[in-house]
Amino acid sequence: MSVEYPATLGMYIGGEWVSGGGRDHHSLLNPATGEMQAELPLASDADLHDALEVAKHGFATWRVEAPELRGAVLREAAELLRERADHIARVTTMEQGKPLAEARGEVIAAAGLIDFHAGEAVRVYGRVLMRPTGMRSLVLHQPVGPVAAFCAWNFPALNVVRKIAPAVAAGCSVILKPSEETPGTAVEVMRCFQDAGLPGDVAQIVFGVPDMVSRRLLLSPITRKLSFTGSVPVGKHLMKLAADTVMKMTMELGGHAPVLVFDDCDLEETLDILVGHKFRNAGQVCVAPTRFHVQEGIYEDFARGFAERTKQIKVCNGLCETSQMGPMANSRGREVLERLVSDARSSGARVLAGGVCGEGRGFFFQPTVIADVPENARAMNQEPFGPVALLSPFASVDDGIREANRLPFGLAAYCFTENGRRQNLLGDAIEAGMVMINQVRATWPDAPFGGVKESGFGSEDGPEGVAAHLVTKTVHVG
């Protein structure tokens, strides 16, 4: 098994790959070994100035390109992504930590998302309103302008595609700052767009000191839209910066997903589904099920079954064929978990599985199950973003709904019940952008993905994802 990191890192500005030139660097670690594996160039102020000017030019030309051409470029990029999936997946695993099979699945899903947007490129319609005496009004939907996009490291391929594909389909240009922790995947995905024929002034990638990059891009009058995937505090900060030029925004922020498990569910099947889903990507998923509220009558059986299954999970370097869960992506995430678990213990909760770091120099944390976690424990209020399942019992349907809606977040929620009337009630009453009932999949290319409350606004995916890159204009013709 070769352990060489297979990506060459650089920024993509104006159709050129740039690095070196006395720029500052960020050292990239392998989360499974803790070893340094590459150096990433960081943007200077001059780089960002160049990228903005290029994006301005790119928007002027791309917005008038035929939608069919935009679609064709996207389709070709999707094909290249599929061809290169094995290579890209290896890069992802070595910089982010998830098992190779999960990484490959993510790349294939990203290709599917690009294909969907290729189709949407030709489906931006307007409206004609007929008026008396031959007058008419035309309702037009036009691309908003250059987009500044920022995304997190947990889905290094999918998050990048979610920023680039809808912008390109709508006729916008985009400057993307992916995470400095997973740059190699972003670079490989960008190469697919480049090799598919996307003009170098339409999509660009920069890395840098996050606050410096976002200030430079968001305070520029060239930028007309902010698209951000990341935590709630950083999202709020960026919204304030973007307010200065009143730009359009899409905010995909954090969550703290509740799971309501009712006593009429199929318990064994529910446990099989939930345990697998909880520990996907070591729990570092914005829609990860986190607060498991289980109806009193089945609570102890649920807790026992959850802990037994969790202890079977094989944790090791994601490059190993047998790996079911890799390390966490970085050391700070693991430190947060240690503090949250310690706080839960001291507030009287029972740790049924895990609760400790793994061995070795990598950022491993054992899959963890904690029962009887009180409402005021920190983990019940702050997104753990890691492999920790928090369990607590509830009595009535109303109690469950109250618990689900208790926090200021509203991204994903899960319910397990065979009662059809209750399914409808939960679908209506739960405050979340996505409610999954008796299953856990939240991501489909044609369905809007996004949150409510402090989890954000402005969906990605689906026709809504392209619509979020358009502005409406009405032309009244005499």
Binding residues vs ligand NAD (CB under 6 A) = 150-154, 179-180, 210-211, 214, 229-231, 234, 237-238, 252-255, 286, 383, 385, 411, 451
Whether 357 is catalytic is: no
- Coil, strand, or helix at residue 356? coil
Within 10 angstroms of residue 31's Cβ, the number of other Cβ atoms is: 29
Q: Quick one: 250 or 417, whose CB is closer to ligand NAD?
A: 250
Which residues 6+ apart lie within 8 Å of 23 measured at CB? 41, 42, 43, 44, 47
Q: Quick one: 242 or 353, whose CB is closer to ligand NAD?
A: 242
**Residue 390, CA atoms < 13 Å, CB-side half-sphere:** 29
Nearest Cα neighbor of 288 from 279, 296, 299, 297 is: 279
Within 10 angstroms of residue 13's Cβ, the number of other Cβ atoms is: 21
Q: Quick one: 229 or 270, whose CB is closer to ligand NAD?
A: 229
Q: Quick one: 286 or 371, whose CB is closer to ligand NAD?
A: 286
Q: Quick one: 228 or 394, whose CB is closer to ligand NAD?
A: 228
Interatomic CA distance for residues 219 and 225, integer angstroms: 11
Which residues 6+ apart lie within 8 Å of 116 measured at CB? 445, 446, 461
Q: How far is the CB of 328 from ligand NAD (least distance, A)?
A: 11
Q: How far is the CB of 442 from ligand NAD (least distance, A)?
A: 10
Q: Which of 181, 252, 383, 460 is catalytic?
A: 252
Q: How far is the CB of 462 from ligand NAD (least distance, A)?
A: 14
Q: Which of 172, 286, 316, 357 is catalytic?
A: 286
Q: Quick one: 274 or 287, whose CB is closer to ligand NAD?
A: 287
Interatomic CA distance for residues 109 and 258, integer angstroms: 25
Which residue in this structure is represented by tokens 């008026």? Answer: 131
Q: Quick one: 302 or 365, whose CB is closer to ligand NAD?
A: 365
Whether 286 is catalytic is: yes
Q: Quick one: 154 or 173, whose CB is closer to ligand NAD?
A: 154
Which residues 6+ apart lie within 8 Å of 370 measured at CB? 341, 344, 349, 350, 351, 352, 355, 379, 388, 389, 390, 391
Q: Quick one: 423 or 443, whose CB is closer to ligand NAD?
A: 443
Interatomic CA distance for residues 11 and 177, integer angstroms: 10
Nearest Cα neighbor of 409 from 451, 441, 374, 457 is: 451
Q: How far is the CB of 233 from ligand NAD (least distance, A)?
A: 7
Give the residue numbers marked as catalytic: 252, 286
